[in-house]
Chains A and B, each alone.
Chain A
Amino acid sequence: MMRPASDGQDVPSVTIAEGTPAPETVITAVWRSESVRLIAALVRITRDLSLAEDLAQDALVAALEQWPGDGIPVTPGAWLLAVAKRRAVDQFRQSQTQRRRLTELGHRLKENDMPDLDAQVDYIEDDVLRLIFLTCHPVLSPESRAALTLRLVGGLTTEEIAAAFLVKSSTMGQRISRAKRTLVESGATVELPAGRERRERLDDVLAVIYLIFNEGYAATAGPDWIRPDLCSEALRLARTLAAMVPDDTEVHGLQALLELQASRTHARTGTSGEAILLDDQDRARWDHLLIRRGLAALSRAEELGQPAGVYTLQAAIAACHAKARTAKETDWQQIASLYDLLSQAARNPVVEVNRAVAYGRAYGPKAGLAILAPLADDSVLAGSHLLPSVRGDLLALAGRSAEAAAEFRRAAALTRNERERQVLLQRVERLQL
């Protein structure tokens, strides 16, 4: 049906029936799906993160006032942006004390910054990309980058982010405010970096998304419905980034890695919440839609022909597991050679331990133990259960049960995770001593 929109133009709008669903929740959902593009466009126009957020909130208030009566506009994003821009101009006109800022803003509101709303669509992707470069800016700590990215790009509320990271709402609020202040004080600009800087800044963005995913992946013990699902949020960010930066192998590589890792979510914990290792997972419980998407993203990464970096290599390893219908069919030799490449790309003791596991499976426990040997005094691994538990695994494979049991016991004493400890002690019991 046709209804006059608030600005008097005769455009069709959608009328929401009384009762179900409650208009306010629908309006909030509309706003949330538009908020990242809205804030991103406002950041470009005002060059002021806090102001952009305030203006976006003003637009939400206007929507809550007008849409229940007028219906939801056909292009809600354009409507919200038009309202926010009008507020911006009004605010600057009214404020005599901010005269100077008005002049500054006037400079910025050049013709090419104020395209008509249809043309605005063309700007949107770059706006969001600029915003994500800003929220992942190197002047911020990794935790602040994650929080600010979830707030402004993910569209989560401060309360939701606080719940996700298990901190108090007020603490998270302060962290976000401080991060915004740091951006202003450091003179961080809203930009699309080019050349070598682009590569470095993209790596920063990828690291933030990976951090958010791992925070969620590590914390999925037990059903917790209140805590937002950080894995899903990270996946969304990775997909968004891949759509915005389609020419970068690692961007697709990260998306592939996260889709593939997320595909195992329902298989990696048992009915009582205990961790289930990859070999023992029921592969029918893997999410085959996510596997298909992960493999497609990996193909896109590889088709670009750029050297594979750490995310693409890890995705390729995850793909080897995803493609094996049973644990026995796993191509461990392929995985071992991918770990060789990963080890060259990023030498790191944890990668070495995993490389040892792969070599143990592909070429026998001796090959694996040989890779572990130089890691005995590694400071990064000291105090972690990782090294003794993998060494125990390889020794068990080699039939050296007594030594394996000692390693498993050492690992059990080191782990801080109770369920992991139980799994390790069970392995001791299973050994034929």
Chain B
Amino acid sequence: MRYMVLLRMDESAGAPPAELVGAMGDAMQQAFASGLMIDAGGLAPTAQSTEVRLRGGSVMITDGPYAEAKEVAGGYAILETRSHEEAVENARRMIAIHQQYWPGWEGAAEVRRISEPDEGPTAG
């Protein structure tokens, strides 16, 4: 089973403490070494993002950042797991590391299963 974990946080929290960066680096290295994590990356600030939206029959292109978005995805990881719980456990670990090394930080890890190619598109 393949999962995408999206780490969402308030962008105004600023730069992460060095301890967090180090601890996350170690944890990710271990996750890669165990064969569980197969890809990961950080996302640039929404100041560099653009949204293309279709609404009411017209297409609107809006540059970020977006004042109304409280939490935005700051990074992602792709996991190959045996179960949903295993993916959740990895996400829990990432959040626990933030809890330990970034006092006051709040955010969420969203655990989403990636559809198998043969599953076809699913509605909502």
Contacts and interface: CB of A to CB of B under 8 A. Distances in A.
Interface of A: 12, 14, 21, 25-26, 28-30, 32-33, 72, 74, 228-229, 232, 235-240, 243-244, 266, 285, 289-290, 293
A74 B96 contact: yes
Which of A29, A32, A240 has the most B CB atoms < 10 Å from its CB?
A29
Nearest to A266: B117
| Complex A-B, nearest 5 residue pairs according to Cβ-Cβ distance, in ascending order | A239-B35, A236-B35, A243-B33, A29-B85, A29-B89
A236 B36 contact: yes
A239 B33 CA distance: 6
Nearest to B80: A232
Nearest to B99: A12
A49 B95 CA distance: 34
Interface in B45-66: none
Interface size class of B (residues with CB under 8 A): 20 to 34
30 contacts: A14-B92, A14-B96, A14-B99, A21-B85, A21-B88, A25-B85, A26-B88, A28-B85, A29-B89, A32-B82, A33-B89, A33-B90, A72-B92, A74-B96, A74-B99, A228-B82, A229-B82, A232-B82, A235-B35, A235-B80, A236-B35, A236-B36, A236-B80, A237-B35, A238-B35, A243-B32, A266-B118, A289-B38, A290-B38, A293-B39
Given A239-B33, A240-B35, A285 B117 contact: yes
Interface in B75-106: 78, 80, 82-86, 88-90, 92, 95-96, 99-100
B82 A26 contact: no
B89 A26 contact: yes
B112 to A, nearest CB: 15
B34 interface: yes
Given A21-B88, A26-B85, A228-B82, A74 B117 contact: no
A41 to B, nearest CB: 15
A30 B89 CA distance: 6
A99 B117 CA distance: 59
Interface of B: 32-36, 38-39, 78, 80, 82-86, 88-90, 92, 95-96, 99-100, 116-118
A288 to B, nearest CB: 11
A240 B95 CA distance: 24
Contacts of B83: 29
A244 B96 CA distance: 26
| Main SS at interface, chain A | helix
A237 B36 CA distance: 10
Contacts of A32: 82, 86
Given A12-B99, A72-B92, A289-B78, A239 B34 contact: yes
Contacts of A232: 80, 82
A20 B118 CA distance: 28
B89 A240 contact: no
A25 to B, nearest CB: 5
B45 to A, nearest CB: 25
A293 B85 contact: no
Given A33-B34, A33-B90, A237-B35, 15 more contacts: A26-B85, A26-B89, A29-B88, A32-B86, A74-B99, A228-B82, A229-B82, A232-B80, A235-B80, A238-B35, A239-B33, A239-B35, A266-B118, A289-B38, A293-B39
B17 to A, nearest CB: 15
A228 B33 CA distance: 21
A72 B95 CA distance: 12
A238 B34 CA distance: 9
Nearest to A232: B80
Which of A12, A232, A266 has the most B CB atoms < 10 Å from its CB?
A232
A25 B95 CA distance: 18
Contacts of A240: 33-35
Contacts of B34: 33, 236, 239-240, 243
Given A32-B86, A239-B34, A26 B117 contact: no
Nearest to B117: A266
A293 B85 CA distance: 25
A405 B87 CA distance: 51
A26 B33 contact: no
Contacts of A12: 96, 99-100
Nearest to B26: A121
Contacts of B118: 266
Contacts of A235: 35, 80
Nearest to A239: B35
